[in-house]
């Protein structure tokens, strides 16, 4: 599968990408690698993403996941 969304990882192991013209935080450890069609995940910010037709799409928002130390 060819991913149409431009994505990159920072030195802090955070994933970002362009959705439309907007730079969006995609997640850290919860980001699916390797990414494939149909993958769905929730970023630490509570944004829900899914790969549809080779593009990462924001499908909704929920309460950010609980962090347990």
Q: 68 in a domain, yes or no? A: no
Q: 67 in a domain, yes or no? A: no
Q: 69 in a domain, yes or no? A: no
Q: 30 in a domain, yes or no? A: yes
Element (H, E) at 7: strand 7-9
The domain of 38 spans 7-61
- Residue 25's Cβ-side half-sphere holds a number of Cα atoms within 13 Å equal to 14
Q: 66 in a domain, yes or no? A: no
pTM of the complete model beyond 0.95? no
Q: 1 in a domain, yes or no? A: no
Q: 19 in a domain, yes or no? A: yes
The total number of structural domains that make up the chain: 1
The tens-digit pLDDT sequence of the chain (69 residues) is 789 999 999 999 999 999 989 999 999 988 998 899 999 999 988 999 999 999 999 999 999 867 787
């Amino acid at each position: 599968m060819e991913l149409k969304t431009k994505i990159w990882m920072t030195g802090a192991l955070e994933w970002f990408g362009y959705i439309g013209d907007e730079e969006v935080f995609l997640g850290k450890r919860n980001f699916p690698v390797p990414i494939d069609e149909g993958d769905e995940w929730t970023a630490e910010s509570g944004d829900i993403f899914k790969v549809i037709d080779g593009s990462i799409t924001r499908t909704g928002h929920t309460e950010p996941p609980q962090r347990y130390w």
